[in-house]
């Protein structure tokens, strides 16, 4: 069966669990801080603990594929298990892979993350559009067919991104705005929320673009990168109700204690609710 569209599932998850995405980023320093070795056993313990602590209560879990891939096929096997267990516990899984290519290669990436028969099938995947938005068509079509979603890079939190994303297109729009307008077109008519989201950094201050894409806005940069939930209204304006703030180290540094991870995630979720509601 085809799943209900991702946008609708995400809206429900945000409304019931709170609008928070927690990253699962098992980099070497974090494994060490948990008292784990930087090896497959440490990776497996880390992933299992994060999923156990968070998958039954946060809206979205976002594994960073690179931190699993660095261990080769055994790391990918750990990632497959984490995705399976997180989805079984009720979290939506956003695979942070930032794939971007053309033609059959983009189609292969789409099959990896957006085909329901794939062992890495996720509820959504991050994509890079800077080979041209049209290059994403295989992934957009695959997501629509399976009820999954995509998050497309628009304005990222890293300072280097501006040299591309703030550059001016032939018609005078910034490249970021051009990409956002493409996303809005993909989401036209969707309710309650489209399934094509944008990645917009929470550290940007005034984003300076029109974020009314009728889709979710993934906001990295909360916590260790310096942004706070209180910054969200200034960055996202009228679109703040569609923001999914992403926190990784701000929550994960409280592990390996399960209760510590849960308490940290709950604090961030409460802060986001207060910031979004203005209370």
> Taking residues 156-185, what's their average pLDDT?
95
Q: How far apart are CA 107 and CA 199, in angstroms?
A: 21
User: Whole-model pTM above 0.85?
Assistant: yes
Q: How far apart are CA 126 and CA 49, in angstroms?
A: 24
Taking all residues of the chain, what is their mean pLDDT, rounded to a whole number?
Answer: 95
Q: Give the Cβ contact number of residue 149 at 10 Å.
A: 28
Q: Tell me, yes or no, if 98 is annotated catalytic.
A: yes
**DSSP bridge partners of 96:** 64
**DSSP bridge partners of 155:** 200
| Residue 89, phi then psi, degrees to nearest 5 | -85, -5
Per-residue model confidence as pLDDT tens digits over 98-139:
999 999 999 999 999 999 999 999 999 999 999 999 999 999
Q: Which of 62, 81, 98, 116 is catalytic?
A: 98
Q: Is the pLDDT of residue 224 over 90?
A: no
């Amino acid at each position: 069966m085809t799943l209900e569209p991702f946008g609708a599932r995400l809206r429900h998850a945000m409304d019931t669990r709170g609008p928070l995405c927690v990253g699962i980023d098992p980099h070497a320093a974090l494994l060490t801080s948990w008292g784990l070795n930087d090896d497959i056993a440490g990776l497996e313990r880390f992933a299992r603990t994060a999923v156990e602590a968070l998958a039954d209560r946060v809206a979205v879990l976002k594994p960073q594929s690179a931190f699993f891939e660095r261990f080769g096929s055994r790391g990918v096997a750990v990632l497959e298990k984490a995705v399976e267990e997180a989805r079984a516990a009720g979290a939506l899984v956003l695979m942070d892979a930032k794939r971007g290519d053309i033609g059959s290669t983009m189609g292969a990436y789409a099959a990896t993350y957006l085909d329901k028969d794939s062992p890495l099938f996720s509820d959504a995947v991050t994509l890079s559009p800077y080979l041209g938005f049209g290059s994403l068509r295989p992934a957009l079509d695959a997501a629509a067919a399976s009820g999954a979603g995509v998050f497309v890079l628009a304005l990222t939190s890293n300072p280097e991104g501006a040299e591309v994303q703030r550059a001016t297109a032939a018609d005078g729009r910034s490249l970021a705005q051009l990409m956002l307008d493409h996303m809005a077109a993909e989401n036209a008519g969707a309710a309650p929320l489209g399934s094509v989201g944008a990645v917009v950094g929470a550290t940007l201050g005034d984003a300076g673009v029109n974020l009314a894409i009728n889709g979710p806005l993934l906001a990295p940069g909360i916590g260790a990168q310096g942004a706070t939930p209180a910054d969200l209204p200034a960055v996202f304006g009228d679109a703040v109700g569609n923001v999914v703030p992403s926190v990784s180290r701000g929550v994960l540094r409280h592990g390996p204690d399960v209760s510590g991870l849960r308490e940290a995630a709950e604090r961030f979720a409460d802060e986001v609710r207060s910031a979004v509601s203005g209370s």
